[in-house]
Homo-oligomer: A and B are copies of this chain.
Amino acid sequence: MPSDMAAQQGRKQGPGRPKDEEKRKAILDAACRQFLENGIAATRVDRIASEAGVSKMTVYAHFGDKAGLFAASVRSRTETLAEALADLPDPPADLRRALITYGTAFVLFLRSPDVLRLDLILATEAATHPEIAAAFYESGPGVVLGTVTGILRQACERGMIRLPDVDKAADSLVASWCHGPDWIAQRLALRGPPTREEAQERVQRSVDWFLAAHAVKPQD
């Protein structure tokens, strides 16, 4: 990622001691933890520095100011999460099984505490950091939506189901998997994340509705 280096360092490795990449990583790591745990306002730069085992001046040397540190750390976190999403196995050929497999993975992903916190912070900060919010959407929910849309579109082309509007159908289907009142309750700390069984059961139910309503050939 050379563009990243250019954007972050801005200097071509002139003479003198180079910046320590390990320290940079450590700072980003600590910053992620702190920002996710406390939000922007309540996070102390001093604490990040000490947790990273680094002096405060080093933090400012690498990232300029608190906002820059936030942006960089969220960006790195977003990339990490996006990789996790990209690592899903190939979809089974069977449509129903493909939807259930992916759906369960998505639910577990989208309701993991880290993603929940990240979503929360970015939603709070969307007004002041629109590019970050957009990047998060693209590499998180956008990927989920795109994958499901692809699966559905393919199934339509193969004549397995019939959908008047694939995009909207995908949106509603994903919604029915992930974001019910039950999910709201988790956001409000009224319950924990679902177990794998709960997630799967929930997705299976939605998928079965969906297929029952849209399948071309008669089924039960």
Number of copies: 2
From the candidates B120, B144, B172, B189, name the one contacting A133 in the complex (CB within 8 A). B189
Cα A182 to Cα B144 with chains together (Å): 12
Cα A208 to Cα B177 with chains together (Å): 17
From the candidates B130, B184, B208, B213, name the one contacting A119 in the complex (CB within 8 A). B184
From the candidates B126, B130, B144, B183, name the one contacting A175 in the complex (CB within 8 A). B183
Q: Known pairs A39-B124, A137-B184, A212-B212. 19 more at Cβ < 8 A?
A: A41-B42, A119-B187, A120-B123, A126-B189, A126-B190, A134-B190, A137-B185, A141-B181, A168-B205, A169-B205, A171-B182, A172-B206, A174-B180, A174-B181, A175-B183, A176-B206, A179-B179, A210-B213, A212-B213
16 cross-chain CB contacts under 8 A = A126-B189, A133-B188, A137-B184, A137-B188, A165-B205, A168-B205, A172-B177, A172-B180, A175-B176, A175-B180, A179-B179, A209-B209, A209-B210, A209-B213, A210-B213, A212-B214
